[in-house]
Structure 1
């Protein structure tokens, strides 16, 4: 703090070398972790079609509050569309409370390294779970400093072009693809990504239709979500070259390093992969030339702390890193702050409206310039709509 000022706040203080300030960061401690389960009906995800009988009827999103003895709170939220919401919420509480309680939240690197070391024997838990907690620490840090997370990271820009991902369950025919692409362009997005892995015979007509509707030069991408065999991926890749797509994302599993490299060496369209690769496995994909572009985000790569390490790694190796959606609103706000602290990401990703809720003033909207604009308030810089949250909370842990 600045002596004589309220402890825990540096907001509004400008540096003047002619004046002598004694700056003492507060020795705060984490004293609580609480989690709400926020429930949303799966009807929104599947509309206008009904929810399939063999699918989950709702998504439960764990909203995490990390409290401190100074009264500053940090917020974060977990990914959960496959029925793992409640299990993840209890996992966060049971596994990691002991590692955070009593710690200074401003010492994010110390906590990050502690969680990284613990991961060695968490065989049934991925690093993505504790990545979530790292976001809350950065939210606290920004609030204490009175600065946005982007500013603390060394802000490079204040907005990033935004592309829309068309959810695959609602577009199956070429005509539906054309309508979806036209709708996203009309909404003002700077690009459109399709999610297809039906094989070459089914996917190529849909990819062609998307280009017909979008016209030449408009950014289009395709994500196969690891669902193709090499023969189909190769046929599709050559068509993507012809149609001038921006990238071919995860044509098959990230574990198939040799196939990724073979495809990358054969087609002109950049192969984007390594989304599911951990931070410490990532160098091997770049050194071996298995990918042309790296995929990552603040959820999959170890929180804000981890994705910044990944970005540094990519910059040193000459690779771009395209930031992936985390499919939760608070985590995607974190991705927006990260995207504004680097030049390596050409785009940010906007997924289904299912993942846009509980925040006032819609900070993840597309602006008329086709971009997302980073909030400039302290920390994540967003205001949670607690009335909405209360109305959709089904359990408090």
Structure 2
């Protein structure tokens, strides 16, 4: 007999950050500093007693919208077979298709989709990576959370040294300041402080135009960067393709895209060497796997954005070269911690994604909705 979904619980929580965070979008006046992250959690139980947990997120704005959209359509999964993840993805996408099949709508669906995959892996008593068909038990990792522009360079250097001491294999810092000489000085200071074996990446957060990006890319060549991330607007596939063709340093992008179709545009125009999809942003694991298939066919390297607790499993299941992003921001939400050694993040052997919500996550919850019973 097939199992059936008995209950779905949705929760909206706000994770406060210790200090306001700024990247180039703040310094150029496009956004205000980041002070909190909104989390949408989905918890599913079945008639046979299995449980799954998933999450999505939004920064600066959008949390209430994610919760509202998920609450409006989430009840449609009650009574359905949780194994039919593809069917349920289609059901939820089309339930809200009038507001689009990307953006906030897919990000709301993502929490439910991830919970279904977590449940499926738990029912098989396998880590999610093993269920998907892993290619490795550990993934090279780099730290981002220590390299934001609100931190003075001395703090960035201390953060980088601490990350390397913990066993992290790469450091990414933010660039894209109005003063491009300050960017170059920042990169030089970090590169000179790191052992040669430690990788270095930079992220401009979409703040350059094509001419500036080309000039900066050429000036950054001597530093041997693993990649330059989001040098241009995220939707400028042609511009990224131009940079990829004219620079030796690889180009990375994709984190801001919210659909398979948007990633297909980057891939088809040879815009990037590193594709950076984000499962919560594209609608969950189901569409993320479609993106991985496209990336693999194109021979691209993959470095999923943020949410290491989830993306570690997905990166481990990719056959090509991968990196996973170390961001410690979400750690207070979960009872478990990921292990790092020799520059790599180890895939946990716990079933499913391998996380459970902490008491702190429950305390930060501001709204819930439950379906079924």
Same structural fold, with TM-score higher than 0.5 when normalized by the shorter chain? yes
Structure 2, unpaired ranges of 5+: 23-31
2:363 aligns with 391
How many residues end up aligned between the 2 structures?
Answer: 355
The structure 2 residue matched to 1:266, chosen from 243, 246, 256, is 246
Match for residue 338 of structure 1 among 283, 305, 314: 314
Check if 1:105 corresponds to 2:82. yes
The equivalent of 1:68 in structure 2 is 46
Match of 1:7 in 2: none
Partner residue in 2 for 1:37: 12
Match of 1:285 among 266, 275, 278: 266
Counterparts of 2:34 and 2:292 in 1: how far apart (Å)?
Answer: 35
In the alignment, the residues of structure 2 paired with residue 71 and residue 151 of structure 1 have an alpha-carbon distance, to the nearest angstrom, of 22
Aligned-partner Cα distance in 2 for 1:324–1:343:
18
The Cα of 1:253 is off from its aligned counterpart by 1.0
Give the distance between the partners of 1:35 and 1:340, measured in 2 at CA.
28
Please give the secondary structure, in 1, of the residue aligned with 2:90. helix
Task: Indicate the SS of the match to 2:293.
Answer: helix
* Distance in 2, Cα, partners of 1:279 & 1:312: 11
Counterparts of 1:311-350 in structure 2, within 5 Å, are 311-326=292-307, 332-350=308-326
Q: Aligned with 2:336: secondary structure? A: coil
1:379 partnered with 2:352: yes
Q: Hey, what's the Cα distance between the residues in 2 that align with 1:56 and 1:221?
A: 22
**Do the aligned partners of 2:267 and 2:298 also contact (CA within 8 Å) in 1?**
yes
Partners of 1:35 and 1:396 within 8 A in 2: yes
Q: Which residue of 2 aligns with 1:246?
A: 226
CA distance in 2, matches of 1:167, 1:212: 15
Larger Rg, first or second structure (1 or 2): 1
Please give the root-mean-square deviation of Cα atoms over the aligned residues, in Å: 2.4
Residues 55 and 110, structure 2, Cα contact 8 Å, conserved in 1? no
The alignment partner of 1:170 has SS state of coil
Residues 40, 111 of structure 2: 8 Å contact kept: no
Aligned to 1:77: 55
TM-score of the aligned structures, taking structure 1 as reference length: 0.82
2:169 paired with 1:194:
no
Tell me the distance in 1 between the aligned counterparts of 2:93 and 2:66: 18
Aligned residue for 2:44, secondary structure, equals strand
C-alpha separation between the residues in 2 aligned to 1:171 and 1:31? 47
The aligned residue for residue 207 of structure 1 is: 187
Question: How far apart in 2 are the matches of 1:269 and 1:282?
Answer: 21
Residue correspondence of structure 1 range 148-187 to structure 2 within 5 A: 148-165=127-144, 166-172=146-152, 174-187=153-166
Find the aligned partners of 2:2 and 2:204 in 1 and give their Cα distance. 48
Superimposed CA distance per residue, residues 267-306 of structure 1 (whole angstroms, 9 cap, x where no aligned partner): 1000111333321232332222222221113223331122
Corresponding residue to 1:221 among 201, 219, 226:
201
Deviates more, 1:84-93 or 1:312-321: 84-93
The aligned counterpart of 2:332 is 357
Does the aligned pair in 1 maintain the 2:16–2:37 contact within 8 Å?
Answer: yes
| Whole-angstrom distance in 2 between the partners of 1:254 and 1:368 | 33
Going from structure 1 to structure 2, the CA distance change for 1:185 and 1:378 (only over 3 Å counts) comes to closer
Kindly indicate whether structure 1 or structure 2 has the higher relative contact order, using CA contacts under 8 Å at least 6 residues apart.
Answer: 2
State the partner residue of 2:27: none
The range that moved more, 194-203 or 150-159, is 194-203
* Higher strand proportion: 2
Preserved CA contact (<8 Å) 1:163 1:192: yes
How do residues 135-150 of structure 1 correspond to structure 2 at under 5 angstroms? 135-150=114-129
Q: Is the contact made by 1:42 and 1:58 (CA closer than 8 Å) also made in structure 2?
A: yes
